[in-house]
């Protein structure tokens, strides 16, 4: 299944892509389908970074029309508004594309939008925004937006009935959630591989150097407990795409920054009343930032925060103050819930790679930028998992302008995974236990973070992958430690879910 790293030494590719998040995987798939010889490399697993810590919402994009400056200034900022409209159109078209091509990876829900006296955005403007979003998407996947009297909405929905404050109306609309965002990355990468791309996980890019008219990329195997751990190779590339998300400016030789500005988002998972199940809410926080209550199986998660960060994304953690802020905002919306830290199942955070221009946050749009003085060294910035296919097409067109066309774009849907654990272990680049639990199987997104099945799955993985008992125990401990770090709980994890042996 996996090409040894030393076998790649001296090989040549048309394009080397750094980063197997949503954008990197989609770009590899797009370029392989167009006839380019592609290598996709990531220092960790597929979709293990920002793509696995998103808000899991196939977003309608209304918030992208919400300018942070006073409404009367809109007429004096036409370039900004045109940019927002173009971005919103891309969002809606990608939304329709994913609903069409990956229906098994999505779930549909009813969302609410509360109107209150004194809101920054008057009801007629919100109504217009929703209509505009549908129009920009060509009505392919209707939002089915309606603004209703409070009493009627409350009679139809327990969530609407639980809203407090000076309500003047409640909007309802249809929205989608990613049933499993990590699996979108995995399936996209595997489809790229089927189309001819070479995939190397746990392979760090140690350097990118100019070599003639192209580039020489140094690779190093980072998988522990494996025979080729520490192995190195150098490959040639006509073009390199840096798709490392918030780590773009930290890739050795991958260009100088800042090209991205990290925006930290924290989400908090809670159990809400039974009548709220499957329903969501979109609103604005007391800070004027978009704020959501997302349905997730039998639970809900609330957030996110919006905090600019400049630290290494590997070191970003959820703070108590951020959890308290999110709970306070939720209690402002639903005063009768009286949520406390004791209601928190777990929480997580991610860092969104927002594009910058001259060191300033631009938010919009997705950009494919070439490093000044270093031709054919590109970086993709500003994309979310929502726009990963749009970003991939932009990157592919940039490659074709520089290397020429090799073939027409190939269409095709991505099949829903079958859940066959034996096949997954044989064919899906599983290296560590958390690869299997968190990104190949849906149990990693269970309320317990997959802890309940970890023992069982470690034994299956050990049998299929030839792990010793010592290796199996190390993998179990590492999985639990990583789960505690990425999805911290407010209460201690039960001891009977910790590794044995």
Tell me the pLDDT tens digit for each residue of 360-369.
555 557 889 9
Q: Inform me whether the pLDDT recorded for 226 exceeds 70.
A: no
What is the DSSP track for 99-136? HHH-GGGEEEEEEEEEEETT-SS-HHHHHHHHHHHHHH
Asked if the structure places residue 232 within a domain, the reply is no
Is residue 228 in some structural domain? no
**Helices and strands counted in the chain (H then E):** 13, 19
Asked, for residue 380, whether it belongs to a domain, the answer is no
Six token digits for residue 77: 């900022």
Is 68 domain-assigned? no
Check: CB of residue 334 under 8 Å from CB of residue 162.
yes
Tokens of 152: 């009627």
Rounded to an integer, the average pLDDT of 471-489 is: 93
Residue 277 has φ and ψ, to the nearest 5°, of: -55, 135
Q: Radius of gyration over alpha carbons of the chain, in Å?
A: 23
Residue 296 lies in a domain: no
Residue 327's closest CA among 308, 301, 350, 306?
301
- Identify the pLDDT of residue 410: 72
For residue 45, pLDDT over 90 is answered with: yes
The mean of the pLDDT values for the chain is 89
In a domain, 437, yes or no: yes
d(C-alpha 323, C-alpha 490), whole Å: 10
Q: Angle of helix 22-33 relative to helix 181-194, nearest 10 degrees?
A: 20
Q: What is the mean pLDDT of residues 370-394?
A: 92
DSSP H or E segment with residue 233: strand 232-242
Residue 34: burial class (beta carbons within 10 Å; 0-12, 13-18, 19+): buried
Mean pLDDT of 391-395: 95
SS3 at position 384: coil
Q: What is the pLDDT of residue 264?
A: 94
For the chain, the first-to-last Cα distance in angstroms comes to 31
342 Cα distance to chain centroid: 28
For residues 60-83, average pLDDT: 71
For 458, the domain range is 421-497
Q: Is residue 252 domain-resident?
A: no
Q: pLDDT (tens digit, 9 = 90+) per residue, 413-440?
A: 887 778 899 999 999 999 999 999 999 9
Separation between Cα atoms, residue 131 and residue 121, nearest integer Å: 15
Establish if 348 belongs to a structural domain.
no
Instruction: Tell whether the model's pLDDT for residue 69 goes beyond 70.
Output: no
Give the chain's largest Cα–Cα span.
Answer: 71
Q: Is the entire prediction scored with pTM above 0.85?
A: yes
For the chain, what is the domain count? Answer: 1
The predicted pLDDT at position 386 comes to: 87
**Residue 154 to residue 148: CA distance in whole angstroms:** 9
For strands 146-148 and 167-178, give the pairing. antiparallel
What does the alpha-carbon distance between residue 215 and residue 205 come to, in Å, rounded to a whole number? 13
Compute the average pLDDT of residues 408-417: 77
Tokens matching residue 102: 């990956």
């Amino acid at each position: 299944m996996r090409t040894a790293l030393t076998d790649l030494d001296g090989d040549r590719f048309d394009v080397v892509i750094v980063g197997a998040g949503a954008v990197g995987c989609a770009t590899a798939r797009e370029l392989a389908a167009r006839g380019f010889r592609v290598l996709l490399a990531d220092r960790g697993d597929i979709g293990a970074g920002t793509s696995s810590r998103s808000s899991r919402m196939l977003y309608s994009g209304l918030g992208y029309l919400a300018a942070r400056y006073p409404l009367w200034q809109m007429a004096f900022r036409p370039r900004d508004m045109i940019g927002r409209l173009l971005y919103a159109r891309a969002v809606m078209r990608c939304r329709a594309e994913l609903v069409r091509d990956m229906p098994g990876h999505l779930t549909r829900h009813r969302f609410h939008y509360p109107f209150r006296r004194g809101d920054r955005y008057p009801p007629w403007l919100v109504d217009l925004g929703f209509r505009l979003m549908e129009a920009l998407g060509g009505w392919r996947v209707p939002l089915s937006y309606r603004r209703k009297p409070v009493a009627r909405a409350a009679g139809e929905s327990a969530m609407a009935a639980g809203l407090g404050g000076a309500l003047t109306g409640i909007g309802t609309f249809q929205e989608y959630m990613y049933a499993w965002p990590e699996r979108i990355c995995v399936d996209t990468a595997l489809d790229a591989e089927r189309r001819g791309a070479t995939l190397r996980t746990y392979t760090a890019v140690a350097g990118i150097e100019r070599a003639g008219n192209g580039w020489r990329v140094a690779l190093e195997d980072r998988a522990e407990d494996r025979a080729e751990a520490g192995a190195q190779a150098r490959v040639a590339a006509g073009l390199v795409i840096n798709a490392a998300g918030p780590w773009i400016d930290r890739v050795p030789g991958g260009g100088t920054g800042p090209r991205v500005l990290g925006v930290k988002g924290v989400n908090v998972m809670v159990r809400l009343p039974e009548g709220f199940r499957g329903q969501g809410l979109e609103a604005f926080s007391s800070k004027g930032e978009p704020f959501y209550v997302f349905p997730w199986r039998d639970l809900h998660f609330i957030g996110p925060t919006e905090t600019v960060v400049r630290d290494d994304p590997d070191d970003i953690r959820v703070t108590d103050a951020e959890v308290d802020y999110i709970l306070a905002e939720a209690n402002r919306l639903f005063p009768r819930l009286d949520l406390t830290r004791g209601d928190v199942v777990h929480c997580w955070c991610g860092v969104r790679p927002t594009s910058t221009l001259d060191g300033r946050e631009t938010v919009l749009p997705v950009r494919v930028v070439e490093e000044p003085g270093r031709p054919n060294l590109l970086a993709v910035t500003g994309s979310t998992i929502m726009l990963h296919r749009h970003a991939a097409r932009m990157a592919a067109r940039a490659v074709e302008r520089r290397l020429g066309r090799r073939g027409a774009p190939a269409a095709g849907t991505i099949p829903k995974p079958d859940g066959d654990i034996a096949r997954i272990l044989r064919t899906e680049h599983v290296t560590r236990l958390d690869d299997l639990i968190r990104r190949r199987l849906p149990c990693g997104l269970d309320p317990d973070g997959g802890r309940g099945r970890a023992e069982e799955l470690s034994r299956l993985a050990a049998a299929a992958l030839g792990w010793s008992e010592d290796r199996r125990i190390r993998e179990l401990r590492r999985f639990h430690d990583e789960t505690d770090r990425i999805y911290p709980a407010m209460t201690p994890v039960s001891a009977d879910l910790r590794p044995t042996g």
